[in-house]
């Protein structure tokens, strides 16, 4: 199981120092924890925790003020990188073409992309499946089968992110099974309002390889509860 902690744009330097200490105390057996801190903290090494970046430039190195290249991430031992998060798509107007370029840059430096996809509205399931498969197709355009298999897919219904509302187990398995039918060898995470109360229900479906946590990532006592529930 993977537990991905997306801190988003949170934690000052002093807060991060405390957070890091608490993170090191998390007890786990098999679970891989990936921390996605703000980019200013990416050079931190934390025992038993993998580091992921929340973003990467769609350019390679060069005159791109404010950007961070895949090569720079690699030099910090970053192992994973989020791409296509709905906040990047909506608030920073990232297109599937940008996401495709980012994925290619990451793969060139052997950083594992975690590609986020998800429908904006909770509506008709078959329409949502179509939306999701279309997002995947566009973001993965032109990549070889071997390249695609290196990517982790994160299914995050946009309407569920930060709202406290999650799909039913049935809705989630319908969507994840349709992703698996097209991408049988990719790991699939679920994200959107996951917490220590609903994780048992989500995990019951047995088709999810891990969880992407936003808000909960800042509450490590709750993350510990969640890990205990999925490991026991």
How many residues sit close enough to ligand PGA to count as binding (CB under 6 A)? 13
Q: Identify which range of 10-18, 70-78, 97-105, 209-217 contacts ligand PGA by CB under 6 A.
A: 209-217
**Nearer to ligand PGA among residue 42 and residue 216 (C-beta):** 216
- What gap in Å lies between CA 156 and CA 31, rounded to an integer? 20
Question: Cα 86 vs. chain centroid, distance in angstroms?
Answer: 11
156 binds ligand PGA (CB under 6 A): yes
- DSSP, res 195: -
Binding segment for ligand PGA (CB under 6 A), chosen from 37-45, 62-70, 154-162, 167-175, is: 154-162
For residue 184, report the phi and psi dihedrals to the nearest 5 degrees.
-65, -20
| Nearest CA-CA partner of 22 in 153, 211, 218, 208 | 218
58 counts as catalytic:
no
Minimum CB–partner distance for residue 217 and ligand PGA (Å):
7
List the x/- string, 162-181, binding to ligand PGA by CB under 6 A. x-------------------
Exposed/middle/buried for 170, CB within 10 Å: 0-12, 13-18, 19+? exposed
Whether residue 85 lies in the annotated active site = yes
Position among 114, 176, 189, 216 found at the interface with ligand PGA (CB under 6 A)? 216
Q: How far is CA 45 from CA 24, 113, 121, in A?
A: 11, 20, 38
Query: Catalytic positions, please?
Result: 85, 156
Using CB under 6 A, list all residues that contact ligand PGA.
6, 156, 161-162, 191-194, 212-216
């Amino acid at each position: 199981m993977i537990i991905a902690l997306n801190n988003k744009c949170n934690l000052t330097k002093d807060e991060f120092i405390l957070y890091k200490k608490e993170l090191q105390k998390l007890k786990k057996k098999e679970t891989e924890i990936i921390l996605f801190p703000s980019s200013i903290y990416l050079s931190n090494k934390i025992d038993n925790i993998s580091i992921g970046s929340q973003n990467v430039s769609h350019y390679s190195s060069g005159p791109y003020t404010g950007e961070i290249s895949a090569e720079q991430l690699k030099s910090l031992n970053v192992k994973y990188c989020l791409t296509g998060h709905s906040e990047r798509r909506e608030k920073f107007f990232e297109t599937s073409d940008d996401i495709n370029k980012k994925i290619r840059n990451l793969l060139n430096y052997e950083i594992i992309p975690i590609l986020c996809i998800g429908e904006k509205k909770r509506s008709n399931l078959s329409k949502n499946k179509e939306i999701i498969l279309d997002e995947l197709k566009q973001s993965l355009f032109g990549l070889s089968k071997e390249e695609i298999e290196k990517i982790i897919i994160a299914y995050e219904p946009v309407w569920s992110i930060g709202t406290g509302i999650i799909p039913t187990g049935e809705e989630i398995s319908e969507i994840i099974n349709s992703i698996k039918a097209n991408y049988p060898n990719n790991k699939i995470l679920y994200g959107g309002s996951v917490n220590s109360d609903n994780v048992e229900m989500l995990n019951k479906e047995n088709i999810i390889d891990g969880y992407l946590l936003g808000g909960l990532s800042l509450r490590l006592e709750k993350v510990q509860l969640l890990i205990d529930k999925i490991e026991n």
